[in-house]
Amino acid sequence: MNRIWLKNYPEGIPAEIDADLFTSIPDLFEKIAVKFANRPACHNLGRTISFAELEQWSRDFAAFLQGLPGMGKGDRVAIMSPNLLQYPVALFGILRAGLIVVNVNPLYTPRELEHQLKDSGAKAIVIIENFAGILQQVLGNTPVEHVITTQVGDLLPAPKRWLVNFVIKHVKKMVPVWHIDGAISFRDALARGAAKSFTPARLKREDVAFLQYTGGTTGVSKGAMLTHRNILANVEQTGVWLSASFKEATEIAIAPLPMYHIFCLTSTLSFMKWGSLIVLITNPRDLPALLKELGQWKFSVMTGVNTLFNGLLNTPGFERLDFSGLKVVVGGGAAVQQAVAERWQQATGRYITEAYGLTEASPGVCANPLDTPWSGNIGFPFPSTDVSIRDDSFNELPVWTGEGDIEKYTGELCIRGPQVMNDYWNNPAETAKVMQDGWLKTGDVGHLAADGRVTITDRKKDMILVSGFNVYPNEIESVVATHPGVLECGVVGVPDDKSGEAVKVVIVRKDPNLTKEAVIEHCRTRLTGYKRPRQVEFRDVLPKTPIGKVLRRDLRDTPSE
């Protein structure tokens, strides 16, 4: 395949990466832990632990898991927790024991949790006590045999540990009453493991490391089978792209996105490879608390999503933070809007590097070069990655040269590379829908330009059809977001008797006096007639996924008063 983008790669970026540098994620982690043993690895809630401590605790947890009855290589262990020190300990412990990690969103309802535990066949789960009551409701319907519970402050030193756990449970009352027979505390698990011998698992690159479930925003969630090689390849791909200015054992990376999300998970591994300190943010929705945490660090790296960047920009005091050490800011998960990107650059002096990926690709696929302004596209494919634009019959479409009807060059983005999964877990029917001839059909619509840049227009399923014309929500959202009275917005299609579908925009106001008429007038000079919103609705908040992606499916219905 002619990789036309290679001629425009940033200086120093190779065309190919070596996906086989390490035999497994534990192989990579153990080498990192030796190299940077005494350097800080993770920080959370006021405590910093070294790579040596992370290695020891994960070793103890691995030994504990290996000692559980009925557990063997390839069995699945779920983690249901926000970003706490317990998360990387459990994560690396599970993998080092030769088991498979099943990341679970801690905000799941009982129905969603039951589906994922049953579908994955998880034999064990590590869960924060705050959500143990949800597990209790469905545990009997799942294959889970071992429950390990943890409290928020479990890996903090005493007496802070006691104080934090007491306040959360008895003052803030954030832990509903629960009871699960045989549940083991995380601290007890570590103690038991410390007293046991540990046998490093014999892992191959093609062994599954994660069952990473899709967000479920377009239907029932499916488990992408991501191998050790898939993840390691993407660590290399994202690493070479982002790390040109990195120095070993000096970078400080802010991780406000949840580690159970593949974007944060892979980027964290990539930063760890440099011996970076990862600052784990437990609750990024508490923007004043996040701002306070940011104020304690001369951070150099940060990942986020558009809604997080926008929220920070509108949090008083953000502009007073120290951005002098900031090197790389990566935006993913959803499109970064131009208005947000430009305000961020003005406030911090750094551009947001917009990247693109999806769960099935571990997740990184494309990114813009560092230190370039917002462009409206997702940049170039990563090394060792092929992209192709295909029509509904899977025929490859030509590149767009900047002339002619762009619709003729627009189709579904398809990708292949060492980071792409082979299958969904126990779901050949869904696998067949997205995998064809070695290509992953992403469900995203876009085009490939002659210089190799990829532009995503929208999700196939999110496209609005107005009187036969394609309308893409991202474009409308970008226009509406430029109005000074708009804090954030989301766009969907709704049924319309005359045009089949019409555009509806849901807005959270920055200016409480903003009117529907003002929004429509703002769009009148910026959008052609069929693209303009016919319905404008104001809400206090937009429904979002845990990483901040707007749930468009929940915008179609008007909330009851």
Residue-level pLDDT at 561: 46
Q: 546 falls in which pLDDT band (50, 70, 90)?
A: confident
pLDDT of residue 158: 97
Residue 307 has a pLDDT of 85
Contact 183, 149 (CB under 8 A): yes
Please name which of 469, 302, 444, 308 lies closest in space to residue 377, comparing C-alpha atoms.
444
Quick one: average pLDDT of 168-188? 97
Residues of the chain with CATH 3.40.50.980: 18-203
pLDDT value at 467 more than 80: no
What does pLDDT average to over the chain?
94
Q: Is pLDDT at 530 greater than 90 in this prediction?
A: no
Q: Considering the chain, tell me which residue range(s) the CATH 3.30.300.30 domain(s) occupy.
A: 463-555
Nearest CA to 271 among 539, 458, 42? 42
Task: For helices 516-524 and 473-480, give the axis angle rounded to 10 degrees.
Answer: 110
Q: What is the pLDDT of residues 81-104, one digit of tens each?
A: 999 999 999 999 999 999 999 999
Q: What integer pLDDT is reported at residue 22 of this predicted model?
A: 98
Mean local confidence (pLDDT), 12-20: 97
Residue 14 binned pLDDT confidence (cut-offs 50, 70, 90): very high
User: For residue 486, what are its two tokens?
Assistant: 């708009």
Options 3.30.300.30, 3.40.47.10, 3.40.630.30, 3.40.605.10; CATH for 463-555 is 3.30.300.30
Q: What is the pLDDT of residue 558?
A: 66
pLDDT band at 215 (very low <50, low <70, confident <90, very high): low
pLDDT of residue 218: 41
- What's the rounded Cα separation, in Å, for the pair 197 and 195? 7
pTM: 0.88
Give the pLDDT score at 216. 44
Over pLDDT 70: what percentage of the chain? Answer: 98
pLDDT digit string, tens, across residues 370-396: 999 999 999 999 999 999 999 989 999
pLDDT at res. 468: 65
Average pLDDT over residues 389-417: 93
Q: What is the CA radius of gyration of the chain?
A: 23
Strand-pair category, 124-128 with 184-185: unpaired
**Lowest-confidence region among 90-94, 452-456, 460-464:** 460-464
Q: How high is the pLDDT of residue 458?
A: 76
The overall longest dimension of the chain from CA atoms, in Å, is 72
Higher pLDDT pick, 152 / 554: 152
Mean pLDDT of all residues in 103-121: 91
Residue with tokens 């120290």: 322
pLDDT digits (tens, 9 = 90+) for 290-347: 999 999 999 999 999 888 999 999 999 999 999 999 999 999 887 888 999 999 999 9
Confidence of residue 109 (pLDDT cuts 50, 70, 90): confident
Under the banding of pLDDT at 50, 70 and 90, the label for residue 217 is very low
Pairing mode of beta strands 208-213, 100-104: parallel
Contact call for residues 55 and 26 (beta carbons, < 8 A):
no
Q: What is the pLDDT of residue 45?
A: 98
Question: What is the token pair recorded at 307?
Answer: 């809604």
Phi and psi of 165, rounded to 5°? -65, -35
DSSP 438: T
Range 174-192 average pLDDT: 97
CATH class given for the domain over 18-203: alpha beta
Contacts of 354 by beta carbon, 8 Å cutoff, 6+ apart: 331, 332, 335, 336, 341, 367, 368, 374, 375, 378, 379
